[in-house]
Structure 1
Amino acid sequence: MADLARLNDRSAVQAALDEFDRLGRDAFLAKYGFGKARTYFVENPKTGTLCDSKAIVGAAFGFLSSAGIPLENADFSGGDATVAERLRGLGFHVHSGSDRPGSNVQPWSPHELAVIVADYLSMLTLELNGQAYTKAERRRRLKSQLDDRSEASIEFKHCNISAVMIELGYPYVTGYQPRSNVQGALYEAVERQLHRFSALDEAAIAAVQRPVLPNDTIEIDFEGVLKQPPQKRNINQVREPAPSYHRRATRRDYLERETMNRSLGSAGELFALKFEKWRLLSLGLKSLSEKVEHVSSTQGDGLGFDILSFEPDGKERFVEVKTTSFGQTTPFFISSNEAAFAREKGEQFRLYRLYDFRKAPSLFELPGAIENHCLLDPCTYKAQFL
């Protein structure tokens, strides 16, 4: 079977999408020998046309170079884990379900945005209060209030709302990973409703300020705790322009407030300390594990890292810990001192990002300079008199 990872050029896919629009669906499928898709359709970001995803990927191989050869239908498998995943990885929006192939996706109306935003904010309030709900059931109920939207389209819009919530300093609904190609009108729809959701404000404040009590009586199973970091977004991804203004009255910075929860930060550092000792012990390096030091406790904060640990060869590893109760892609705050220390130490530095800390603690690590992995937003300045 063909390796779809070789399709790493977004412009090749765009060329195939443009040809689909130029020839029409039937002629395009006939030219490349593909049947009509039943489930997955990729959206042309230039025109909004929905195109048969497997046929587009096959044709795109022919645009990879001047000597490119299109894939045939039998050369690879279609589906969410293959074709759809590759297209999403290149920054394209993949639809599934009842959206019509060869047609244009209609923008969400103000009424639709109001309905789906209200549903999202209600889910987030329930989640922050620890109350149960069923996403699938809510999507089905929501579908009847919208203009012939598929469940996949509804789920994607929920992910767009997550991106807006993150920008406004709110946590997001678990499972709806932020997707940043957001309608400008969606920002306004979210802001309008946030003013009326006092229950969400109360729930968010309570969630970020809730203390964490370390429980040393529970044995932690560190197998499976370490995860892969979030996938980098494609810098060529087509996005709708955000509104031209940036001063948002509804921004509450609940995520920044969470960083002031000292009990959460301390609990996260202790968790990472135990993880480091376990990591070395599992490698048979007991003597090194006994030297791991919680330096932010023993020497004081401000060193640029929290834990002094070691590599298997005895080389020092400097670990800075950032902890959140929320999801994997929740932004974190880092000082200029910490960022400079990470650049100075290079591969000896590790940022441990702990997430879902209250439910099922997991972590991923970012080695070296933070800007190699994240966009650093200089949100605070120190003002000195001239």
Structure 2
Amino acid sequence: MLTLELAGQSYNKTEHRRQLQRKLNNRSDASIEFKHSNISAAMIDLGFPYIRGYQPRSNYQALLADTVEAQIRSKTTLDQVALAAVEQPAIAPRQTDFAKVKSDAPKKQLQVSEAIQPMQFKATKRDYFEREARNRSLGLAGEEFVVLYEHWRLMELGQQRLADRVEHVSQSKGDGLGYDVLSFDSDGRERLIEVKTTTFGRDTPFFVSRGELALSKGAKEQFHLYRLFEFRKTPRLFALHGALDQFCNLDPVTYKASFA
């Protein structure tokens, strides 16, 4: 199913579930859905995207992790399709109903030491999230989308003067500031927006730099991280306002930010 989804082809989740039920002594729909959500979490830990609609549930068994890893290793087509998906050029969507863009952010899950540990293994091939993060056209398209979104948001608040001052600073002033877009709150206070864009689901991990993390702590009243997801399909976003470590679990080596 994931291979078909990444390739832009359709599939029938209901029929797939029915076929599984015949092999699993008619286990309930909820049980099968829950197990697919466990698989989604294992896929993320392996550096792979997950199937839309199966939100990750992290406390999965070590046996499931081993099985998922073995399946991935044997699926060369999945590797090829996933690589093509993360490296494909992107442009900002031209027609979007900005009123439907905003989404709730995932909740940070506490990390505990248990017999079941989802991070005992590493990706066997590539970290597709890291490769997608290096897709410059996708990053630029996401930033351009946020510029348009912020202009719309301020216009909706009746702040045309502020809307006209929204600036794409990563282009006008260069990278390295710790944020990509300068916008404003309705009272005129600056809003420093760092944009992270993925074509995958809401729970997909992202990467932050030391500078971005420092800015989120040092200017926590002004700093906002906008996470764009499902960008090629129907762009959505959630916002994290303030110090990033209060919202995400941060890998101390790579600063990969996840919610599980």
TM-score interval, smaller chain: over 0.9
Q: Is the 8 A contact 2:182 2:193 kept in 1?
A: yes
**Aligned-partner Cα distance in 2 for 1:231–1:244:** 19
Is 1:195–2:73 an aligned residue pair? yes
Partner of 1:336: 210
Is 1:374–2:248 an aligned residue pair? yes
| One-letter code aligned to 1:139 | R
Q: Is the 8 A contact 2:3 2:81 kept in 1?
A: yes
**Aligned-partner Cα distance in 2 for 1:236–1:375:** 8
Partner of 1:242: 117
**Aligned-partner Cα distance in 2 for 1:193–1:244:** 17
Is 1:284–2:162 an aligned residue pair? no
2:171 to 283, 291, 297: 297
Q: CA deviation at 1:242?
A: 1.9
Bigger relative contact order (CA 8 A; separation at least 6)? 2
Partner of 1:156: 34
CA deviation map 1:359-383 (0-9, x unaligned): 00010100000001000012349xx
Give ranges in structure 2 of 5+ residues lacking alignment: 256-260
Partner of 2:23: 145
**Equivalent pairs: percent with the same residue?**
54
| One-letter code aligned to 1:343 | K
Q: Is the 8 A contact 1:211 1:264 kept in 2?
A: yes
TM-score (norm 1): 0.63
Change (3 A) 1:238 1:140: farther
Q: Is the 8 A contact 1:307 1:318 kept in 2?
A: yes
Change (3 A) 1:249 1:333: closer
Q: CA deviation at 1:288?
A: 0.7
Q: Is the 8 A contact 1:347 1:367 kept in 2?
A: yes
CA deviation map 1:80-129 (0-9, x unaligned): xxxxxxxxxxxxxxxxxxxxxxxxxxxxxxxxxxxxxxxxxxx1011001
Q: Is the 8 A contact 2:107 2:247 kept in 1?
A: no
Is 1:221–2:104 an aligned residue pair? no
Q: Is the 8 A contact 2:41 2:56 kept in 1?
A: yes
Count of residue correspondences: 255
| One-letter code aligned to 1:178 | P
Q: Is the 8 A contact 1:155 1:176 kept in 2?
A: yes
Partner of 1:360: 234
Q: Is the 8 A contact 1:181 1:240 kept in 2?
A: no
Q: Is the 8 A contact 1:265 1:322 kept in 2?
A: yes
1:179 to 57, 68, 79: 57
Change (3 A) 1:306 1:198: same
**Aligned-partner Cα distance in 1 for 2:143–2:160:** 20
CA deviation map 1:115-156 (0-9, x unaligned): xxxxxxxx1011001111111110001111124422211110
| One-letter code aligned to 2:161 | S
**Aligned-partner Cα distance in 2 for 1:219–1:126:** 26
Give ranges in structure 1 of 5+ residues lacking alignment: 1-122, 382-386
Change (3 A) 1:185 1:355: same
**Aligned-partner Cα distance in 1 for 2:145–2:166:** 13
2:106 to 222, 230, 251: 230
Q: Is the 8 A contact 1:325 1:356 kept in 2?
A: yes
The higher radius of gyration belongs to 1
Residue 273 of structure 1 aligns to a residue whose secondary structure is helix
Q: CA deviation at 1:191?
A: 1.2
RMSD of equivalent CA atoms: 1.9
Q: CA deviation at 1:220?
A: 2.8
Q: Is the 8 A contact 2:47 2:123 kept in 1?
A: no
Partner of 1:264: 138
| One-letter code aligned to 1:300 | G
Change (3 A) 1:261 1:236: closer
Residue 305 of structure 1 aligns to a residue whose secondary structure is coil
1:12-31 alignment, distance < 5 Å: none
Q: Is the 8 A contact 1:180 1:239 kept in 2?
A: no
**Aligned-partner Cα distance in 2 for 1:238–1:336:** 27
CA deviation map 1:275-314 (0-9, x unaligned): 1111111111111111111100000001000011111111
TM-score (norm 2): 0.93
Change (3 A) 1:244 1:232: closer
